[in-house]
Amino acid sequence: MLAVDGGNSKTDVVLLDAAGGVVGASRAGGSSHEALGLEGSVAALEGAVLAAGAAAGLDPGRAPIARLGMYCLAGADLPVDDRRIGRALAARGWTQRVVVRNDTFAILRAGTDRGWGVAVACGAGLNCAGAAPDGRIVRFPALGELSGDRAHGGGWLGRAALGSALRARDGRGPRTALERLVPAHFGLRGPSAVLTAVHVGRLHEDRLLELAPIVFGAAENGDAVSRSLIDELADEVVAMAGSAIRRLRLSARDVDVVLGGGLFRNGDPYLLERIGKGIASVAPAAVVSTLHEAPVVGAALLGLDGIGATGPAKARARAVLSAG
């Protein structure tokens, strides 16, 4: 069984046998189709998949290398994405069967063995998905402002940090430590210099994601503007998770809510506390947890579910992958 967790910054691939043993693994850079396009995404996945096959001693020229390919991918946000990506992967013939899921489902599966609950992924972007005990699924388009998202992840937080620094400098907004911290991070003289560098292409806009830890640090040191940005992010997490809980009719249940991604692993206690209180207002018995395991653990478990592996096999895979 082939399990893939493909994100914006990295791609993890593992090959497992039916007993839950890891026989091959690889790690590569990002593979999101939103950044690379469909063909570029498949090419990035190809390198990682063939490297895992080689690590397992398999001949990359002899496909398929596994019965099932479980691909949990950032950017697989709409059913049309699942179909397009699935067709492109099936054409490669790496596995007898291909399943494409959004990476939030890997977070959910890694975070709970119950088979239902709600997961929120917050890294460069923000997304949420949920499953009910009866199998009903909810998910969100997660296309930023186009789909009504507001404080949508670390990319938004970085852009908002630059915007807040600019507004403070030109008088449209309150003063903030970000006026100094944002340009200092890039070795530039002021917020306008950062804006100009992004505008003319000397600084790729994706690098604004690097400002997320700067915002958390400034908030911890008492910067009110930075704290307000983190509050916006927390409130959007609660809006998405709360919507999923209500749509799945889980408000009266002890629903697991699993938070996964770099911004949650940052461990900012104020962020997590605000999220916890907000979710409790929707589902008082909800159990909120932060995932510290790699999401590929969830992709592997979903794949083992898909081939009907035993409970001990899944426990073995979790133990091995979590230790790695």
Q: How many CB atoms lie within 10 A of CB 26?
A: 20
CATH number of 2-103+293-323: 3.30.420.40
Is 134 strand, coil or helix?
Answer: coil
The highest-level CATH class for domain 111-149+237-290 is alpha beta
- pLDDT score for 63: 79
Query: Cis ω on the peptide bond leading into residue 64 (within 30° of 0)?
Result: yes
* Beta-sheet strands, E only, within the chain: 2-6, 10-16, 22-29, 66-73, 95-102, 117-122, 126-131, 137-139, 256-260, 287-290
State residue 32's pLDDT score.
87
Residues of the chain with pLDDT under 50: none
- pLDDT tens-digit readout, 141-200: 999 898 999 999 999 999 999 999 999 999 999 999 999 999 999 999 999 999 999 999
CATH architecture of 154-229: 2-Layer Sandwich (3.30)
pTM, two decimal places: 0.93
Report domain extents, the chain: 2-103+293-323, 111-149+237-290, 154-229
Q: What is the pLDDT of residue 35?
A: 81
- pLDDT the model gives residue 267: 76
* 162 CA to centre of own chain: 23
Q: Where do we find the tokens 């239902």?
A: 116
- The reply to whether 111-149+237-290 and 154-229 are identical in fold is yes
Q: What's the pLDDT score for residue 127?
A: 95
Quick: pLDDT tens for 98-125.
999 999 999 999 999 999 999 999 988 9
Contact 317, 301 (CB under 8 A): yes
Q: How much is the pLDDT for 7?
A: 86
